[in-house]
Structure 1
């Protein structure tokens, strides 16, 4: 059961650091926040040396005054536990708490997140500061909840201190029970790695080939996740005991951490930090990248943890540290656009980072709402507009859910295994981007769902179509669950390299795609990596006329074609990219939808469909490209939920948040030019209060929320 934030109205707020500013500024800051319709602030997550200036000496005066004043102005407070940045006295006195690189280099004091989760002393001191804080603030009328730590596994998500090696051994002993079982799980018979004493076992260490035992590397990531959760549990247990009436969350999501398990075990709901311009720094290699719009995929992953969540940090200005991450200033309207991007995807509480840009330290270029001069600027004006709008419509939106009939399926084991295994890991990102980009362009909302041991067929049947691109690791239980989903009317689409590994990452001694071979009705008779001098094979759709070979169609051309009309197989040449599984049909129910039209396997099946029960199982023997996805969208019959009454250009994102009787249809223009919206019925834009019909213009970076009765 997903855990969500529960609010009667959307809440807007900001991250605030009273310890950074003269006390003479506080009252004016709080007054102006309220004028912007802000109702919540987050404080304290980096203030350990303020709360405990020397070991065992606690001082809360500064924050007492700040919280009392915030309460006077009607601001609610989220208190952070300050364990992401241990104070200098702590790391100097107890150097064993510091994290260590894989090469054995100790990370020193001077940044943040330089500790390890395993140190008994660090756990002890974190427990003490958490208890002192909660005992002191458990009855403060301003505090509504707690953020534990800050961005677990951000900055660094691997840990190699001596305490980590010891904790890893203990974790392995609990998991496997004996060295014989561990040796079996890790396949240590290969290259003479067999262990005969637990003291010989470590986390991965530098190797000659720079390629550690893959099964050890997978368990290392599982351990890091479990260890981070056990570290967080120390704090949540104390807060639950001491301040049971205040909720608990933390902000993520970062690598090597099962955020679903973390939330289910410890939190009341999950929180996310939304910085869409990261997608402009790393836009991907495809033509016409989605840029900040691509951030919606990250928000969709967050929604899989908590359908309604908190954005604890929302980008409000240009971002950058003194030594890295250069982000341009948001263009006029973009900050508001990003705010509604988060709200569309499930944020019911949203706090801008930060109130005022820091004048000292590493983040002097990570800009907040206010600039150094503290005078009005256009970002403040945009925040004021958002505040007015949410004050008017926030009550109607709170608790509504994002609507989608299509979901991209993920799981942590394949994500973690794919970091090392380049024979399947890189395919997933490529395929997810292709699907997400095409669905976005065709205005088909999509969810992200994580396959977990607790997942039920009812969870899957919320969707008509599932995309599970490259699940190399596939268990018999998961295959059985997916078969039930298909039999009861679902459609699932697999990609290359599916189902050839077990839970330990061992390759199965059976035909690929292993546990889902019978579901798909095919096996893989041969395969090849597409790389270097080995080209991708051309595809031929079995119901199309032969086409002359040509270069791959650009992603931009494919998107524009698929957005304006269905992609025609006669118009677009498709290539089977990155990896080619050559398929063998094993079941007479299987239809070959496309074959390879070049290379030594010309004429062999590349894309198949098997109807089983009420549903369908599709298998595609390559990584998904945008042209291929465009054709699959057409063949699967995927349609925009608004196609009968709205005509939208590709630059506009469509999403729907719905309650029992109403739908709020979000239209977000990511373009720097106006977008023409065609409405075929009179509709209310709840933000402007205007009734709209026929053709309207959505300004650059503009937002509309249309109200529609179900």
Structure 2
């Protein structure tokens, strides 16, 4: 049975590195943490050479003292297994544990995550350090839980050592059994790639066209990396479960080529995430119209919630961020650290730890600022953390275990994400359409979930939602289409975008009219299609009826042909040689309906469809400006409405009912002014 994130109180804390600081500072650090209202710390995830300075010699003195002292001060400890940074003695003695690039270059010791998951020797040594730590701390009253490794697949999520090629080959043999089936799945007859012996099979390797492997091989590569990563983590989770059964197990991440849902289902009590909202602003598309900036980070948090309805934030941004040579995030303005903390909580976090207690004075992360600056003197961020700690000491217990309310979900799946990394004919579209839909929903104050379609997904899981948005599922099996049809027949509303349904699970194209497996659902076929780029001028869509207007038809156009009498044309192309042809259709099917939008979504088109399918904010007693996010967390007897103002300026909201703010205890009604970066939790 899985252990919950929190039970008795909301856990607020910080990441701490006792090995980085003189021992004489520890007690004052712990005392000040408690004064801020912190109850938990994470330690140890990068300290292998301290636990095992030479092979086979284990020393726990430094961390014994650090953990004992933390426990004395009333701080619980999350202990990280230190396998993200193998020590120099290990990589020097066993170079086969090192990762290798696609081009065959061995990645050397000197940063982090420089190992591969497939090396038998590395797995053996990881199991041994995990076993030693779990035996030593498995019954320590101050240790509450474990973090496996750190940010699996961060920095790099591809692996090409000899051990990886061998493990890939073995994985394929289990999956396909015979070479005939492998050759068929990979379409190996194309360009004469057929294999006659298993020894000929490798992970993708350099070809005459740079980084251009067989696309079906590349899709299986991602599936293998995910399975191999989970197997690596399982090695540690099993040991901890056996030797520390009273302590919970998690890991932090959400990185590429990893099925985090399966990882959590199989190994973890709950999932953890590292929340840095300013990543939304430093990795943004300069051509994006009307961006959400840090508010857009909520889409990532919605993905985390799809893995664990209640989760832990293992690293919450608390200051400006950057490494010596990359990333340069500005300092949060007054109130933003508090805003981002409640952003995480509004989306389902029951535990938040800030990164980090004090900014490192050495190493690559000397500009990745924590709550305390190098000088260790009081500052604005410390005061802000203290305000949050005081608020959650009073309000946090009411929130833990409550679940987010949403009537609409953006649908995703790993097969299309991984296939789309290579396939430019659908891959980039998913990210854009997800973002545009999220913007449209946010500005109408409609909370959404993210739902990952998996082989185990049931109709009951889909039927929780009035509307499902599945923008560009190029890969769609007949089984998935049948499940989606059941959802629609019982009353659901399903929205597709261009490039839907034309590939099978191998990534091969069906010999059927597009949209392939989704043809019966949609009641249309695709007459022809085109990219919209280069010399091809952007096109537009003309909407009819109540949604009359013109919107852009971005990036790609499917020109549609009506096949069933139940289909209604909602909009037509307004320009180019296919002007007047159907661009958007709605198929009434059973008690529900299926929309097909022939382009890549933009916010304006998504907003029109939201109105057409009658999606509305779940809170009708409140009038909000666009800058304020609304999220709702429901418990068995109480509902909590989070309002987050992402504007630096004060904004006015209007309450038609009297509510109490959980954080301040203030009763509110009528017109209320929210301060810049302000937060209210109404119930």
**TM-score normalised per structure 1:** 0.95
Does 2:274 correspond to 1:273?
A: yes
Does 2:650 correspond to 1:674?
A: yes
Does 2:595 correspond to 1:618?
A: yes
The superposition leaves residues 595-619 of structure 1 with CA deviations (integer Å, 9 ceiling, x where unpaired) of 1121111211111111111111111
Matched residue, 1:693: 669
Contact residue 2 and residue 305 of structure 1 kept, 8 A: no
CA distance in 1, matches of 2:246, 2:522: 50
Aligned in 2, Cα 1:3/1:292: closer, same or farther, shift over 3 Å? farther
Deviation at 1:430, TM superposition (A): 1.1
Contact residue 6 and residue 351 of structure 2 kept, 8 A: no
Does 2:190 correspond to 1:190?
A: yes
5+ residue gaps, structure 2, are: none
Matched residue, 1:515: 517
Given candidates 591, 596, 600, the residue that maps to 2:568 is 591
Query: How many residues are treated as equivalent by the alignment?
Result: 681
Does 2:382 correspond to 1:406?
A: no
Deviation at 1:535, TM superposition (A): 2.2
CA distance in 2, matches of 1:262, 1:256: 12
Does 2:436 correspond to 1:434?
A: yes
SS in 2 for 1:133: helix
CA distance in 1, matches of 2:533, 2:3: 43
SS in 2 for 1:574: strand
Matched residue, 1:161: 161
5+ residue gaps, structure 1, are: 545-567
Matched residue, 1:17: 17
CA distance in 2, matches of 1:693, 1:128: 60
Deviation at 1:537, TM superposition (A): 2.4
Matched residue, 1:115: 115
Does 2:88 correspond to 1:85?
A: no
CA distance in 2, matches of 1:287, 1:604: 27
SS in 2 for 1:304: helix
The superposition leaves residues 515-560 of structure 1 with CA deviations (integer Å, 9 ceiling, x where unpaired) of 111011111111111111112322122327xxxxxxxxxxxxxxxx
Contact residue 540 and residue 595 of structure 1 kept, 8 A: yes
Given candidates 626, 634, 653, the residue that maps to 1:650 is 626
The superposition leaves residues 265-319 of structure 1 with CA deviations (integer Å, 9 ceiling, x where unpaired) of 1111100000001011022331231111111000000000000000000001000
**Mean Cα deviation higher: 533-542 or 354-363:** 533-542
CA distance in 1, matches of 2:439, 2:336: 20
SS in 2 for 1:300: helix
Question: Equivalences for 1:500-539 in 2 at 5 Å?
Answer: 500-539=502-541
Matched residue, 1:350: 352
Aligned in 2, Cα 1:39/1:6: closer, same or farther, shift over 3 Å? closer
Question: Equivalences for 1:235-384 in 2 at 5 Å?
Answer: 235-284=236-285, 285-384=287-386
CA distance in 2, matches of 1:308, 1:356: 28
CA distance in 1, matches of 2:590, 2:505: 28
The superposition leaves residues 173-220 of structure 1 with CA deviations (integer Å, 9 ceiling, x where unpaired) of 111001111111100100111111111111111111232100000000
Matched residue, 1:221: 222
CA distance in 2, matches of 1:298, 1:479: 26
SS in 2 for 1:420: coil
Matched residue, 1:662: 638
Does 2:603 correspond to 1:601?
A: no
CA distance in 2, matches of 1:385, 1:3: 29
CA distance in 2, matches of 1:278, 1:11: 25
SS in 2 for 1:360: coil
Matched residue, 2:613: 636
Deviation at 1:6, TM superposition (A): 4.4
CA distance in 2, matches of 1:464, 1:363: 45
SS in 1 for 2:659: strand
Matched residue, 1:565: none
Deviation at 1:4, TM superposition (A): 5.4
SS in 2 for 1:301: helix
CA distance in 1, matches of 2:297, 2:545: 37
The superposition leaves residues 319-350 of structure 1 with CA deviations (integer Å, 9 ceiling, x where unpaired) of 00000010000000000000000000010011
Given candidates 569, 593, 610, the residue that maps to 2:548 is 569
The superposition leaves residues 371-423 of structure 1 with CA deviations (integer Å, 9 ceiling, x where unpaired) of 00111111011110000100111111000011100100000000000000000
CA distance in 2, matches of 1:576, 1:613: 29
Contact residue 320 and residue 331 of structure 2 kept, 8 A: yes
**TM-score normalised per structure 2:** 0.99
CA distance in 1, matches of 2:129, 2:297: 35
Contact residue 569 and residue 631 of structure 1 kept, 8 A: no
SS in 2 for 1:53: coil
CA distance in 1, matches of 2:290, 2:564: 40
Contact residue 308 and residue 347 of structure 1 kept, 8 A: yes
CA distance in 1, matches of 2:5, 2:260: 16
Matched residue, 2:234: 233
Matched residue, 2:681: 705
The superposition leaves residues 214-243 of structure 1 with CA deviations (integer Å, 9 ceiling, x where unpaired) of 000000000000000000011011111111
Matched residue, 1:485: 487
CA distance in 2, matches of 1:73, 1:137: 18
**Mean Cα deviation higher: 205-214 or 425-434:** 205-214
CA distance in 1, matches of 2:2, 2:476: 24
**Mean Cα deviation higher: 226-235 or 278-287:** 278-287
Deviation at 1:3, TM superposition (A): 8.2
Question: Equivalences for 1:90-109 in 2 at 5 Å?
Answer: 90-109=90-109
SS in 2 for 1:105: coil
Matched residue, 2:50: 50
Contact residue 80 and residue 147 of structure 1 kept, 8 A: yes
Contact residue 2 and residue 269 of structure 2 kept, 8 A: no
Aligned in 2, Cα 1:438/1:66: closer, same or farther, shift over 3 Å? same
Matched residue, 1:65: 65
**Mean Cα deviation higher: 278-287 or 479-488:** 278-287
CA RMSD, Structure 1 to Structure 2 (Å): 1.1
SS in 1 for 2:77: strand
CA distance in 2, matches of 1:69, 1:438: 49
The superposition leaves residues 645-671 of structure 1 with CA deviations (integer Å, 9 ceiling, x where unpaired) of 111111111101111232111110111
CA distance in 2, matches of 1:233, 1:514: 38
SS in 1 for 2:421: helix
**Mean Cα deviation higher: 240-249 or 83-92:** 240-249
Does 2:454 correspond to 1:452?
A: yes
CA distance in 1, matches of 2:16, 2:292: 31
Deviation at 1:50, TM superposition (A): 0.3
**Mean Cα deviation higher: 212-221 or 631-640:** 631-640
